[in-house]
Structure 1
């Protein structure tokens, strides 16, 4: 059981502040890796930090778990937080995410392997031609990425 699950046993569904990392992985053709989540939305790979884990470690771990892609050096893009990102999950859990966004062009292994649980698909897309169903939050993050690409 992970940190968040243990915490939820204590606090139930009440709002929490949770910290996570997402990574915009850019290949040599300037395409960005997106994963399709089970809800049908395309998003950047990423997830919440576990106890003792750095934001960079969490980003690399989540990218590998969700897409099979191995990455190296990360460059900080920004931190996204605030009431506009408030989430209520289908099970009633509520949280305010603090999302630390990175960009990575240091791809160690580009072979995509989806887990079928957190990701039902993963592909590289032209950053100017994102697929239908790309999360509005992710579009905002990608706009931020585009400034530094």
Structure 2
């Protein structure tokens, strides 16, 4: 039986040209945005930048706080049986530089998706946040 714990995460939703960049995770084969655990003593924004660079090769020039997400929707059981309740501080970024490349130890692939064509198989703890973001973008586009 795995351990139960609370985890503080820092994440980044990368978007441009009416598309969002998602990664397919190696551990559960699900799609999601980029992020990971905040290390002891690390600033949350620095953790978000670090995770983005590690997972995608991209450097965030500017991050905008999207929100802090917690509660039962952020529950995740890892393939090893460990269970986490995640407090996810999510940033948005459409001002970035660098070449996209995969962190082979954690990521199967990186792919740009239209807001209305995101994959069905989303990683459980990011699902509600990503759908909220994409729906907001779709609404903004329809109002233009």
Residue from 130, 144, 147 that aligns with 2:118? 130
Instruction: Give the match for residue 68 of structure 1.
Output: 57
For 1:57 and 1:123, locate their aligned partners in 2 and report how far apart those are by CA, in whole Å: 24
Aligned partner of residue 26 in structure 1, secondary structure: strand
| Alignment of structure 1 residues 100-111 onto 2, 5 Å | 100-109=89-98, 111=99
Residue from 81, 88, 96 that aligns with 2:70? 81
Post-superposition CA distance 1:82-113 (Å, at most 9, x none): 1332223232322211011111111122x111
The 8 Å contact of residues 74 and 124 in structure 2, kept in 1 or not, is answered as no
Q: CA RMSD in A?
A: 2.0
More strand by share: 2
| Alignment of structure 1 residues 48-67 onto 2, 5 Å | 48-67=37-56
Aligned partner of residue 87 in structure 1, secondary structure: strand
Deviation at 1:143, TM superposition (A): 3.1
For 1:81 and 1:95, locate their aligned partners in 2 and report how far apart those are by CA, in whole Å: 11
Number of matched residues? 136
Structure 2 stretches lacking a partner, 5+ long:
none
